Amino acid sequence: MPDLSSIQFLWPLMLYTCFGVPIFAIYYAYQAKQVPPLILCLGLLVLCASLARPQTVLMTPLREATVMLVIDTSGSMRAKDLKPSRIEAAQQAAQQFIQEKPSRLRVGLVTVAGTAALAQAPTEERDALLKALDYLPLQYGSALGTGLLVSLEALLPGADIDAQKIINDASEMGGKKTSDMGKSLDDKAKPVSEASASRGKNMAIVLMSDGQSNMGPELLKMAELAAKHEVKVYTVGIGTAEGDVVHIQGRSMRVKLEDEALQKVSALTQGEYFRADSAEGLKNIYDKLGYKLRFEKRAMTEISAQLALLGMLLILISLIRNFVRMGKII
């Protein structure tokens, strides 16, 4: 199906021929003493538009795709600025996404707090995924970079991504500046093979979090690693700007949505950022994500022939209709 928002015209000046349609309509009304058929005018308009050589990006269904859901299970997700709570809203929206997913879409689940765990390897089985979502215990700390890393390792088992080594290196450099840590990880990164990058095109990560990350590998560096493998990361910011007061280990603190890093992650990987400030809004976001993850964009394709065919078909229908009703073509 065409992406109508991306339509461009190679010969835009030819669109001026469309002004001939109202002129024809006026002439027709003067000669026939009646308004011309709407279908006829629409067919002529489409036919004139085809002369401008329109082109658009075609959206084609993915035959196979894999998506990793990464859910933040840190203590701040118990905040109740989303009802009934951030974690429960995320859980319910993810369950709805899985129940409505296409049968051939493989989905995996990673939970992330102070560390990240592969709760469910990518699978087409809805029951296994729903069972994994039933139990999401909240834990101390937030290592969103580790969540991306574990997801990439699950998506690309043959890409030589040593998640444990990167995590250990980040742990050893805990006392160094963030920029230094990112530089060291880059220095040790291996070139990405064309085969690995090609596989990444049919894969995506959906990261749901309130944006707070204070442990593990740097989030943006892991996003760069995902971009190298051409894996898009869609980020969903859960929470409100006002936030909510939560009690963690005997302390009270206000936790707000911190989405700056989440926006940067989606931009780096050519994904998209969504902000969910209500449970209903989060479910709507999943509906949009479901569409994006079911289709892929192809290169710009000219659709002049298709539009011309549609225009001629509409004109033919109008002429046949006139002949049947009035005994004449025009």
Q: Quick: pLDDT tens for 102-131.
A: 777 899 999 999 989 999 999 999 999 999
The pLDDT value recorded for residue 15 is: 78
Calculate mean pLDDT across residues 223-245.
Answer: 92
Q: Are residues 88 and 52 in the same domain?
A: no
Q: What percent of the chain has pLDDT over 70?
A: 78
Q: Answer yes or no: is pLDDT of 213 > 80.
A: yes
This prediction has a pTM of 0.67
Choose between 54 and 242: higher pLDDT. Answer: 242
Calculate mean pLDDT across residues 182-199.
Answer: 43
Q: Token pair for residue 261? A: 């890093």
Q: How many domains does the chain have?
A: 2
Q: Which of 162-166, 182-186, 226-230, 297-301 has the lowest mean pLDDT?
A: 182-186
Supply the DSSP string of 191-260, one letter for each residue: PPPHHHHHHHTTEEEEEEE-S---SSS-HHHHHHHHHHTT-EEEEEEES-SS-EEEEETTEEEEE----H
Sheet strands (E) in the chain: 2-9, 54-61, 65-72, 105-112, 116-123, 203-209, 232-238, 244-248, 251-255, 273-276, 295-302
Q: Answer yes or no: is pLDDT of 45 > 80.
A: yes
Q: Token pair for residue 207? A: 């990261």
Strands across the sheet with 203-209, in order?
116-123, 105-112, 65-72, 203-209, 232-238, 273-276
Q: Answer yes or no: is pLDDT of 78 > 50.
A: yes
CB-based contact 39:314 (threshold 8 Å) = yes
The pLDDT value recorded for residue 32 is: 62
Tokens 């993850």 sit at which residue? Answer: 293
Residue of 59, 48, 39, 41 whose CA lies nearest to 9: 48
The pLDDT value recorded for residue 81 is: 92
Q: Are residues 131 and 224 in the same domain?
A: yes
Q: Answer yes or no: is pLDDT of 1 > 80.
A: no
Q: Is 171 inside a domain boundary? A: no
Buried b (16+ CB within 10 A) or exposed e, 289-312: bbebbebeeeeeeebbeebbebbe
Q: Are residues 99 and 241 in the same domain?
A: yes
CB-based contact 87:78 (threshold 8 Å) = yes
Q: Quick: pLDDT tens for 12-40.
A: 887 777 777 777 777 766 566 565 677 87
Calculate mean pLDDT across residues 223-249.
Answer: 90
Residue 223 — very low, low, confident or very high, per pLDDT cuts 50/70/90? very high
Q: Tell me the C-alpha distance between 141 and 111, whole Å.
A: 12
* Residue 93, H or E segment: helix 86-100
Residue of 295, 296, 169 whose CA lies nearest to 222: 169
Q: Are residues 112 and 250 in the same domain?
A: yes
The pLDDT value recorded for residue 189 is: 43
Calculate mean pLDDT across residues 217-243.
Answer: 92
According to DSSP, the β-strands at 295-302 and 251-255 are unpaired
Q: Tell me the C-alpha distance between 257 and 254, whole Å.
A: 10
Q: Is 24 inside a domain boundary? A: yes
Q: Is 137 inside a domain boundary? A: yes
Residue of 92, 89, 96, 129 whose CA lies nearest to 238: 89
Q: Are residues 202 and 309 in the same domain?
A: no
Q: Answer yes or no: is pLDDT of 263 > 50.
A: yes
Q: Is 179 inside a domain boundary? A: no
Q: Is 184 inside a domain boundary? A: no
Q: Is 293 inside a domain boundary? A: no
How far are the Cα atoms of 60, 202, 272 from residue 260, in angstroms, in the given order?
A: 32, 26, 13
Q: Is 185 inside a domain boundary? A: no
Residue 265 — very low, low, confident or very high, per pLDDT cuts 50/70/90? very high
Calculate mean pLDDT across residues 256-278.
Answer: 91
Q: Are residues 97 and 144 in the same domain?
A: yes
Provide the domain limits for residue 36. 2-59+299-326
Q: Answer yes or no: is pLDDT of 143 > 90.
A: yes
The pLDDT value recorded for residue 160 is: 75
The pLDDT value recorded for residue 208 is: 94
The pLDDT value recorded for residue 262 is: 95
Q: Is 176 inside a domain boundary? A: no
Q: Are residues 41 and 70 in the same domain?
A: no
Q: Are residues 31 and 159 in the same domain?
A: no
Q: Are residues 235 and 198 in the same domain?
A: yes
CATH code for the domain in which residue 104 is found = 3.40.50.410
Name the DSSP letter for residue 84: S
Calculate mean pLDDT across residues 292-302.
Answer: 64
Q: Count Cα neighbours of 193 within 13 Å in the Cβ-side half-sphere.
A: 8
In degrees, to the nearest 5, what angle opens at C-alpha 192 toward C-alphas 196 and 186? 140
Q: Which of 18-27, 167-176, 209-218 has the lowest mean pLDDT?
A: 167-176
The pLDDT value recorded for residue 247 is: 83
The pLDDT value recorded for residue 178 is: 37
**Per-chain mean pLDDT for the chain:** 80
Residue 173 — very low, low, confident or very high, per pLDDT cuts 50/70/90? low
The pLDDT value recorded for residue 226 is: 94
How many helices (H) and strands (E) would you count in the chain? 12, 11
Q: Are residues 273 and 305 in the same domain?
A: no
The pLDDT value recorded for residue 186 is: 39
Q: Are residues 9 and 156 in the same domain?
A: no
Q: Are residues 201 and 54 in the same domain?
A: no
